[in-house]
Amino acid sequence: MKEIVLITGASGAIAKALSKKIEKDFAVRFLTRKKEAENEFEWNLENQIVDENAFENVSHIIHLAGANISEKRWTEDRKKELISSRVDSAKLILNTLKKKNLKLRSFISASGINFYGTKTTDKIFNENDAPGNDFLSEVVVVWEKAADEFKEQNLAERVVKIRTAVVLSKNEGALAKMKTPIQFGIGSPLGSGKQYMPWIHIDDICSIYEFALKDTEVEGSYNASAPQHTTNENLTKLIAKVLNKPLFMPNVPTFILKLIFGELADALLEGSRASSEKIIKAGFEFQFPDLKMALEDLLKK
């Protein structure tokens, strides 16, 4: 009998790719807002309702649910939604496990590399560093706290928190948004372009979740960021090079980004490096440690 893994955030790029990766070894179920397949179960966060059948005989939960950080301006309502979609969803799972008197082998939660704060510094952050003091780090702190509750309340043997960098994938997310203007000859770096952009190939982030699922020694927080560091300017130039497109537009001025995006602009204009040493020491091997190699894989296929 295959162990059962329940995945939240079913519509996201990671959930889709990850489920394909692990389905030969595990039986996969999803929590989703609208059931469309036999292995999907509905939940409604606003009303704190979930189909409890999803939890029957579940061994592991991979919690990927969370509203997209960079999709809309951060109004007060949007900020509440960004936190609630991560924290209240975890609470709903926790309360359901309690009610059904179930204990997981592992609770593996997505988390953010923004834990360390939205700032550009010379420091390379590791998992022992303190959190930052801005909105995004606040989101990550409460998100991880919600995950830790599963261990603290004895509802999971171990908890893993994957502090995820910018995920590069072919048709979704940051890379898709960056490559479009470059293809039309109007791409350019943002602000100074000197802000670091921690990144990871979609195949590697899925492999990290699989690694965390299978290796029972893996516990606590891990930076999921490729070992090669880059800046926004370098990434933009490399995308253009791989696509064989010229880059001649000036950098997008900071004030324009702030006008368009408000407070969210900080997340685009600032960024620091994060060390991947801990996950590598645990035995994980990156398939795409090199940015050019990652971009060629995603943009040339």
Is residue 165 within 8 Å of 116, Cβ to Cβ? no
Is residue 221 within 8 Å of 128, Cβ to Cβ? no
Give the pLDDT band of residue 115 (cuts 50, 70, 90).
very high
How many angstroms separate the CA atoms of 131 and 125, rounded? Answer: 10
Phi-psi label, residue 25: left if phi above 0, alpha if psi -120 to 50, beta otherwise: alpha
What does R_g of the chain's alpha carbons equal in angstroms? Answer: 19
Residue among 67, 133, 101, 116 nearest 223 (CA)? 116
Give 253: exposed, middle or buried? Use CB within 10 Å, 0-12, 13-18, 19+.
exposed
What pLDDT shows up at residue 248?
87
The pLDDT of 89-107, averaged and rounded, is 97
Number of neighbouring beta carbons within 10 Å of residue 188 = 17
What pLDDT shows up at residue 255?
86
Give the pLDDT band of residue 260 (cuts 50, 70, 90).
confident
- Predicted TM-score (pTM) of the model is 0.96
Give 243: exposed, middle or buried? Use CB within 10 Å, 0-12, 13-18, 19+.
middle
Residue 172 has pLDDT above 90, yes or no: no
Kindly report each contact of residues 278-286 with a partner whose C-beta sits within 8 Å and lies 24 or more positions away, as own/partner: 278/126, 278/127, 278/222, 278/223, 279/208, 279/211, 279/222, 279/223, 279/224, 280/227, 282/211, 282/215, 282/217, 282/218, 282/222, 283/211, 283/215, 284/207, 284/208, 284/211, 286/201, 286/204, 286/226, 286/227
Reported as a single tens digit per residue, the pLDDT across 15-41 is: 999 999 999 999 999 999 999 999 999
Structure tokens at 85: 């979609």
Structure tokens at 236: 């933009």
What pLDDT shows up at residue 147?
98
How many angstroms separate the CA atoms of 11 and 33, rounded? Answer: 9
Reported as a single tens digit per residue, the pLDDT across 129-149 is: 999 999 999 999 999 999 999
Least confident of 104-113, 180-189, 204-213, 287-296: 180-189
Give the three-class secondary structure for 60. Answer: strand
Distances (CA, A) of 90 to 31, 55, 248: 12, 14, 46
